[in-house]
Structure 1
Amino acid sequence: MGAITWGPEIAAVYDTVNAAQSAPSVLGPMVDMLSQLAGDGRALEFAVGTGRVALPLSDRGVPVQAIELSPHMVDRLHGKPGADRVPVTIGDMTTTRLPGQFRLVYLVANTIMNVTTQEEQLAVFVNAAAHLEPTGCFVLEVIVPQLRRVPPGEVARVFCLDPEHVGIETFDDVVGQVAWSHHWFEVDGRLVRHSAPYRYVWPSELDLMARLAGLRRRARWAGWDRQPFKSDSESQVVVYEKPLAGEPGAPPG
């Protein structure tokens, strides 16, 4: 499988290096939207990680289940308050199937790109659609590729230059849309280095994957605050819905 699994070293520092993403100003709008879309139904998170989103969503009263490829990340989740209310299945989000249907399936923090082939990214959409009840939603949060920021003749760019984090991405396979993300983190006085490939995906490509999976786009915003998506937006939050049988966009049969 063309996917990235976080090992024990990264799992151990994941919450520390991503602490800003757990701030109420970041999580609040995200959990607001997800809880609204879930309503009185169940939610399923693909790639739950250490539970940054699943736990506060569960605290809102939404029944949440999850799939996660890395057992090391799940170990971290299990050590947090409320983890007993979020059952996690170890498996990959392209094929792992849970019983029943869900009102909401969501995949955040650019994790669709951790699946590094187009075929398997499409399989994520197909698996999400298979878990959804009619009129249910699949929500994606992912960056917009920033190739225009790479000067002509160069193959890399620095995307983060902070005292505690240096991040460089290299565009290694433009045909396959595979790049590498390289990070150097300062954590508790030591340097942690991490590099991994990802497959960047364009907004129109996401929409086509959704159509092939029997979903249709309901909305695309520049972020969780629902600001309009524009040609220069650097990120996107997309809501796809599963049509009722017989409606336009519904799969045959």
Structure 2
Amino acid sequence: MPVTVAGVEDYFGESVAARYDESSAEMCTPEAVNPVVDVLAGLAGGGRALELGIGTGRIALPLAARGVPVCGIDLSPAMAARLRAKPGGEAVDVTIGDFATTRVAGSFSVAYLVYNTIGNLTSQDAQVACFRNAAAHLKPGGCFVIEVGVPQLRKLPPGQTVVPFALSATQWGFDLYDVSTQSMSSYHARVADGRGEFRAIPFRYVWPAELDLMARLAGLRLRSRWENWAGEPFTHESAQHVSVWEKAS
């Protein structure tokens, strides 16, 4: 069950944090991490970086190891504790709070949200607030970067609301969509050591054009959009995008 932190439900408590890196192992390889760090280090350009939803430090720690000063905001004390316990964790300043509204001191050259984390904000108002919060942290000319999937509604035939994403002898996962509210929930079932575990996490899916409008409301303009961190073109067949918005100089 989620706990409440700063008035917001935290779905990434100790039971999730304890195995988060293991369950996301494919996203923690050098092949997955290095292109992200390359882009963010380039955008930082010698300035500071702010990660919204910093988690266990998958991106923040290697970015800091490149010499980029990194701060972060995260709602989950359990996830932040995992980051702090890792080598180099003491160099990353983490503030516990809702990244849609929590402020940290100073200004930054780049702020970023990766791995679909914008969807953890489950209302349009919260997502708009996140853009405004990111923009308020940026220096003139600074950039806000989001990596997020394109909603997979093309996989839904008429009358269907469920898309499976994991299926094995010990693990099942599926996403449940409500297209009337742009809400979805990810359901995870797992059998380990003869015991069953189940958890559900709510999200709000969001379209690229909607994100662009949120950016405009926050005083940002679209600078780049790619399919991935390698900079491949974003097309109508892309399953995700990396978007960069810039604050006016």
TM over 0.5: yes
Question: What amino acid sits opposite 1:156 in the alignment?
Answer: V
Aligned counterpart for 1:24 among listed residues 20, 24, 30: 30
SS of equivalent residue, structure 1 residue 210: helix
Residue 117 in structure 1 maps to residue 111 in structure 2: no
Q: Deviations over 1:70-119 (max 9, x none)?
A: 00111111110000110100011111111111001000010100000000
Q: CA deviation at 1:163?
A: 4.8
Partner of 1:198: 203
- Identity, % of aligned positions: 52
Partner of 2:216: 211
How many pairs does the alignment contain? Answer: 243
Question: What amino acid sits opposite 2:41 in the alignment?
Answer: S
Question: What amino acid sits opposite 1:81 in the alignment?
Answer: P
Q: CA deviation at 1:161?
A: 2.3
Q: Deviations over 1:196-224 (max 9, x none)?
A: 11000001000000000000000000111
Any unmatched runs of 5+ in structure 2?
1-6
SS of equivalent residue, structure 1 residue 119: helix
Question: What amino acid sits opposite 1:154 in the alignment?
Answer: Q
SS of equivalent residue, structure 2 residue 126: helix
Partner of 1:221: 226
- TM-score with structure 2 setting the length: 0.93
Partner of 2:182: 177
Give, in whole Å, the separation in 1 of the partners of 2:194 and 2:68: 39
Q: CA deviation at 1:157?
A: 1.4
Partner of 1:7: 13
Give, in whole Å, the separation in 2 of the partners of 1:107 and 1:4: 17
- RMSD of the TM alignment (CA)? 1.6
Question: What amino acid sits opposite 1:202 in the alignment?
Answer: W
Partner of 2:167: 161
1:93-108 → structure 2 map (5 Å cutoff): 93-108=99-114
| Contact 2:11–2:201, Cα closer than 8 Å, also in 1 | no
Q: CA deviation at 1:166?
A: 2.4
| Contact 2:227–2:233, Cα closer than 8 Å, also in 1 | yes
Any unmatched runs of 5+ in structure 1?
245-253
Q: CA deviation at 1:30?
A: 0.6
Aligned counterpart for 2:72 among listed residues 63, 66, 69: 66
